[in-house]
Structure 1
């Protein structure tokens, strides 16, 4: 409907024909294997969305085959927002971005399942035990690929890897205190309907 309104039906069809695959191509597998971060989207059973971030040594997202990925989940703050959403709604979106070399991205959409560490190793014994030194995964997120496609390089910034340092002059607050602030008055809600805008 929106493609028709904006006259992009043919362009979109060409993109799907050329770029969207129901599996990971060899080039995509190589790309994922050298990525050290991924942006993750999930939603609960009601459709309430959450965006998150995962990082680790290059290849921490494991390619099990051309239709399957897995990444480790470690003990965190106990909120378990992404994992909790997956138990209600298995649909996930993953965005891998190369900011340093090729300035390109890869979208991977699929369905996810939470699998205990010991259980997944019975099927995939090659999974690393120490992908994050000193930490053992509690769970793995097992993702079956539905579609994978490129995120074009336009507007992807170039970033230079740097050693993470801290000094007394630049000491920042603890994570839990970073965004704390005095209470502010409630924000006035937007109108129920904007003229000419579909909801």
Structure 2
């Protein structure tokens, strides 16, 4: 594709100047500030899945310049991302700063899924207070293969807002959101 569109030289410069085989200190600090990450996985047949994880800043724990770990808490039981990682351990992570520097960081590597106690046995310094009253069921441990910038050109500026209590939301429950007909009071408000 690069040859067809005439971008091979530009791409070669990008690989040479931007793509790293390990996290720089600036990348580690950036990850430590992030409260969300987008995940890209695929199963053994190449069927893709995109997902999102969030937590307090630093919930994706930087173990060292080649290793990250993040917790998985009890969810809907589907385990699409973790299931894909068992079949195909390649994981893509995209961290985006929407509020301050408007820049992103791609981190790609090989993931392994561990039970909480097993990974804590290997890395006892994992955080314990990520979600009050909840413990991770599993952890995803990523061995970094490459990390590189996602430029700021099209990253929108977003302002953090307080999250309303569930009973204050004028919308259906999550399980019904995309499956039930819309009522007029659920329509978006200007």
After TM superposition, is the score higher than 0.5?
A: yes
TM-score (norm 2): 0.92
1:176 equivalent in alignment to 2:175: yes
In structure 2, how many angstroms separate the alpha carbons of the residues matched to 1:153 and 1:179?
32
1:177–1:121 Cα change, 3 Å: same
1:30–1:178 Cα change, 3 Å: same
Structure 1's unaligned 5+ residue stretches are: 183-199
**What whole-Å deviation, never above 9, does each CA across 1:95-120 have from its counterpart, x for those lacking one?**
00000000000000001000111111
Structure 2's unaligned 5+ residue stretches are: 182-190
In structure 2, how many angstroms separate the alpha carbons of the residues matched to 1:121 and 1:19?
33
In structure 2, how many angstroms separate the alpha carbons of the residues matched to 1:64 and 1:149?
18
Alignment-derived partner of residue 74 in structure 1: 73
SS of corresponding position for 1:145: strand
CA RMSD of aligned residues (A): 1.3
Alignment-derived partner of residue 51 in structure 2: 52
Alignment-derived partner of residue 104 in structure 1: 103
How far apart are 1:8 and its partner, in Å?
0.5
Structure 1 residue ranges, 4+ long, deviating more than 3 angstroms after superposition: 166-170
Taking the TM superposition and a 5 Å limit, the aligned residue runs for 1:122-161 are 122-161=121-160
SS of corresponding position for 1:31: helix
1:7 equivalent in alignment to 2:13: no
**Count of residue correspondences:** 181
Alignment-derived partner of residue 28 in structure 2: 29
SS of corresponding position for 2:94: strand
1:167–1:119 Cα change, 3 Å: closer
TM-score (norm 1): 0.88
How far apart are 1:169 and its partner, in Å?
7.3
